[in-house]
Chain A
């Protein structure tokens, strides 16, 4: 009894070398950040580097791409919320939508419907992409994760990596490894559109608008509907959710379906932004969206959206803003470095993510 009481006394832990090292890393990170930005500012004053308009384009592109990451990140976050593991196959759920959307788009192009009726065409593509991603997500849950419901959380996590490869090579096997290019959007979308005093490229504006509408819809769904409430209940306490009469399995399926639908929307947005899809299209955006979810505090839906937009901004603006200041050439190629550095920095400074609550010490993986 006495020893148990003694160990519970608030004892000051002596800082070890790891703490000193982490402190040094933090200081170095801040110094490098300020140094890089200062270098860029000095260049700007000297009239070198990007113009104001170029900066604005970087910001808009960053937000558009970030909004897409945010939509994918929701799926990671929701599944983590209800099942406590990272579904690494979610990038492939997103890719499935983009792929299926391509075939629909291509067909519409072939029958000359795409150019004459672009808005309806893109809606059809969106619908098919959502349908495909939702189906893939739900099937994966049913086949791969449900049998592992009572296994330690690390088991479905590793399974998800396997599923990820399985889906990649299934698509490669079925449709070949070549990059498939969506037909081009009409000229009026590619032109710059005046929007509040700004001139924004039409596709980027469309991407941002669709993403915002989708996120608002998701928010209303989760907060206001009966299924949304079940999802929140299951995320908090499965046993008590069942005690309320909630069908936990069906709610988990709904969670995968909604996360899949979000990824499906992102699949079409990807097509608008980049046009090319292939069997590995899901990999990097998937990892980035996972990063965004962690950045925002995993399990927190608002955080996933905000984390996505922030990550997109870091990626879009960071290379020019920080790296160019050191005189590094070709910085725009280094956006992935910036994205993952941002993740590492956030985890060093705030391990629970920017908007995350401290996780309970449950078995999560």
Chain B
């Protein structure tokens, strides 16, 4: 998709957990219709970045801007109502609820009719049709991932945040997962995806950022980053 206006922006964002400084001046720009990926090793602050967008963490300095509006200090529900939703790390389904309830709760804030989105999710993941009355906790990891994505889509987000969606999935499912991301993006949703699987993520991303201990150390288009020697050495598993 062609990139449009800016939908999400970080301006020199700092966050702390108690006294611990996590994000140390992060700048990011995400344009409408893009797939943007955020790469980085363990504990580099990727999840914290997504939590900051959603107001689950409040920046100690800097600005988070959604659709041109500074959203520092907003409640999560208010950000979600603005059209941002997330597929969290490790899926985090409501395991004691049924698959159907999990999908419906994704549309919790919507007052309009969400039948069309419900049907779209089931079309995207046909295997879920036979699982609707089943408790989500009884599903396989791949199926749980589908429910987590479906749940996020039920809010009909304009921006979809995904936190390591391929973690813990078999290689076949990882590839499928990236297909789904592309499909969601082609239908008009901006996607911001956090990944450790750099090769795969950069192959579908319009733009990528690399986070290292709370700082953006590299950024560029997917192709640039894939070709960057520093990147190849540090993140794409090439030696020397």
Q: A residues near B, CB below 8 A?
A: 226, 229-230, 232-233, 236-237, 239-240, 242-247
Contact = CB atoms under 8 A, between A and B. Distances in A.
A227 to B, nearest CB: 11
How extensive is the interface on chain B, given as a class?
A: 20 to 34
A229 B86 contact: no
19 contacts: A226-B108, A229-B97, A232-B96, A233-B97, A233-B105, A237-B92, A240-B92, A240-B94, A242-B56, A243-B76, A243-B88, A244-B80, A244-B105, A244-B106, A244-B108, A245-B77, A245-B80, A245-B109, A247-B77
B81 A245 contact: yes
Contact of A246 (B77, B96, B155): B77
Given A244-B106, A244-B108, A245-B109, A236 B94 contact: yes
A249 to B, nearest CB: 10
A229 B109 CA distance: 13
> Which secondary structure dominates chain B's binding surface?
loop
B30 to A, nearest CB: 19
A237 B75 CA distance: 17
B108 A246 contact: yes
Contacts of A240: 88, 92, 94
Q: Majority SS of interface residues in chain A?
A: helix
B101 interface: yes
B95 interface: yes
B54 interface: yes
A124 B80 CA distance: 43
Given A240-B92, A240-B94, A243-B54, A229 B81 contact: no
A319 to B, nearest CB: 38
Contacts, number: 50
Contacts of B56: 239, 242-243
A181 to B, nearest CB: 44
Nearest to A246: B108
Contacts of A245: 76-77, 80-81, 108-109, 155
Given A242-B76, A243-B76, 15 more contacts: A226-B108, A237-B94, A239-B92, A240-B92, A240-B94, A243-B54, A244-B80, A244-B106, A244-B151, A245-B77, A245-B81, A245-B108, A245-B109, A247-B75, A247-B77
A236 B108 contact: no
A243 B50 CA distance: 12
Interface of B: 54, 56, 75-77, 80-81, 85-86, 88, 92, 94-97, 101, 105-106, 108-109, 151, 155
Contacts of B88: 240, 243
Contacts of B95: 236
Contacts of B151: 244
B96 A236 contact: yes
A355 to B, nearest CB: 14
Most chain B CB atoms below 10 A, which of A229, A232, A237, A243: A243
A77 to B, nearest CB: 14
Contacts of A244: 80, 105-106, 108-109, 151, 155
A243 B97 CA distance: 16
Contacts of A242: 56, 76-77
B47 to A, nearest CB: 11
A303 to B, nearest CB: 13
A247 B54 CA distance: 14
Contacts of B54: 243
A71 to B, nearest CB: 23
B101 A229 contact: yes
A233 B88 CA distance: 15
B144 to A, nearest CB: 13
A245 B106 CA distance: 9
Nearest to B148: A240
A80 to B, nearest CB: 15
